[in-house]
Amino acid sequence: MRSAASRKISGSGLPRGTSAATMLLLLQARAEGLGACWMAGPTVARRDIAELIGIREPWRMLGAVALGWPDEAPNATPRRALEKIATWFEGGSK
């Protein structure tokens, strides 16, 4: 049963939980030398894909992960500086 506090958080937890699980899958793939790409694009064909691979209620497709042994080693793409995407709060209230 969900608490009153958790009910205040809008929407289903499904996308959050699925996103967390997907990130762990990507990290593990990397650790094992696999290449992977998280894709939302294939959901445009979610009905056909559900039919093809047998996804049935209550399950539904939120995305897809392409996974395989890489045959190339592309250079890492640039990343924004950490201070541009994160704010650190120190101390907190007492």
Ligand X SMILES: Cc1cc2nc3c(=O)[nH]c(=O)nc-3n(C[C@H](O)[C@H](O)[C@H](O)COP(=O)(O)O)c2cc1C
Binding site for ligand X (CB under 6 A): 37-41, 63, 77
Nearest-Å Rg of the Cα atoms of the chain is: 18
**Residue 91 CB, nearest approach to ligand X (Å):** 32
- Sequence-ordered list of residues with C-beta below 8 angstroms from that of 30, at least 6 positions apart, any chain: 36
**Residue 41 CB, nearest approach to ligand X (Å):** 3
Strand (E) or helix (H) holding 89? none
**Residue 43 CB, nearest approach to ligand X (Å):** 8
Q: Residue 82's CB: how many other CB atoms inside 10 A?
A: 8
- CB of 37 or CB of 67, closer to ligand X: 37
- CB of 5 or CB of 85, closer to ligand X: 85
